Structure formats: structure tokens, C-alpha cells
A = this chain, B = another copy of it.
Amino acid sequence: MRKHITGFSNPTVKYLRSLRDKKHRRRTGAFLVEGLRLLEDARVSGRVPTMLVMAEGRATHDLIDRLEGEVEANGGEIVTTTPDILSKITGKSNAQSVVGVFDEFDTALSQIERDRAPIWLVAQDLRDPGNLGTMLRTGDAVGAGGLILIDDCADPFSAEAVRASMGAIFTQGVARARWEEFLPWLRSGPGQLVAASLRDAVPYRGVPYEAPCFILVGNESQGLPETYEMECDLRVTMPMRGRADSLNAAMAGAVLAYEVLASLDA
């Protein structure tokens, strides 16, 4: 279906703008993806937007033609509008921009198939959406199955997280759970839980990592709660030659994930 919108007060415009807000995303179960590159990443990963929005008279592009075809074949909507209204939706002034609306993925723990990958990243109380996106990207790089978000993490469907993931939001599994739900789930099957820790920990190199390995990193400023660390099978630490807070959570996760990858491959 195609439609053209010329009024700022059109309900579709209001709906699209509301998706920049976490509360509305949660209520409608939809999120925005901006930019042709991310939309193409989504398409390649088999994700088709339910709605595609662009400015009237936008320069043509093979990738857009293909996207439009897939959206229509799926019964989705193609919306054209004025550059001004598009800016209102994206919060930016790029008339060449293309925006897609996607259904949020199922983020229940039950959709994590632990045998599907040797590494899984787990973040607890990770508050920065940029860090969250970076962890998704790291997961993609090391061939992880996905990212499990524990307790109060940033929203993986926020524009910033999606952008920082560089498309890995579409290739990595994402689950959300409270710790009280995650721990029994983890223990119901095989899985080594490894904490990136600052206390009572062994050096992170030369440790017997085992697949599926769940790499747990904590909040950016607090680290992991001690009670969580104590439930881990391994607590490992990285050298810190500088100040105590030198390495951020996403960075520590990446260094550790590469170590686990090398260890499992050896």
C-alpha cells in the first residue's frame, strides 16, 4: 500500500515520531531504523519493515527499489512525505533519508538457543545505548549468538543502540531478563558463566573456557553486584595498568570475548 502525507498532524506522522520514545516503542512493539545502510543490513538478514518512509522526489536507488518491492510483497506500507515532515520524524535535516518501521523482535529468554553459538554476551545494567550497540557489534565480530540483557539495561531498539550496532541488531539474538529469571534458565542446560571481574578473580588468559561460554559484564560505573559474581563459574580479570576505571564495559567485553574465541579455537 502506498500513501502520501502532507500534514504535520497526520496520525501516521504522530505515530512515527512517538517511536523515538521508549514508552511508545514498548506499547506498540515497533521501532525505527534510519538510513539505507541499516535498512539494507536488515533486508539481508531477512527483516522487512512494515512501513517505509521517505521524502517525495527522493533520488532513486536500486536498494530502495528492492526494499519497496519487498515491503509491498509483505503487505507493508510505502509512505512518501515532504522533506520537512521527514525531518520532523527523524529529528534530522537529511531529505535523502529513508526510515523503516520494524516489529520489535521477541526478546524472551526462551528464544535463545544456546547450542547455536560458542559464545554469548551478557550485560547487566548496561545503561548506555551506544555501549549496548557496540556489544552487539562485538558479538557479531566474534561469532556470538547474541546479547542477553540483565536487569535495567538500555533499550536495544533505541535509535542510538540500533545505529551503534551497525546492523548487528539484525544478526545477533537479543534477550531481556531479570537475574532471578536468567540464572535458573542458564543452569537448566550447559553453559559456563564467566564474569569480567575486579575482585577475587584469575587472570583472563590461559583459563579453561568452555562453550557455550556466557560472558557477563556489569554496569559501566558499578561493575557487577558481588552476589552475581559469586554465582559465576569463573571470575576473570584483565590487567589494568592505569586508573581503576580505565576500561569500559563494552571494551572489556570485547577483549574478553576475543580471548574466549581464541581459547575455544585452540
Contacts and interface: CB of A to CB of B under 8 A. Distances in A.
Interface of A: 41, 130, 134, 137-143, 166-168, 171, 205, 238-243, 245-248, 250-251, 254-255, 258-259, 261-262, 265
Contact of A140 (B138, B142, B243, B258): B243
B242 A143 contact: yes
Contacts of A167: 243
Given A251-B254, A254-B254, A241 B138 contact: no
Nearest to A138: B251
Nearest to A167: B243
Given A142-B239, A166-B245, 10 more contacts: A130-B130, A138-B247, A139-B242, A140-B242, A166-B246, A168-B242, A171-B242, A250-B251, A254-B254, A254-B255
Given A140-B243, A143-B242, A241-B143, A251 B171 contact: no
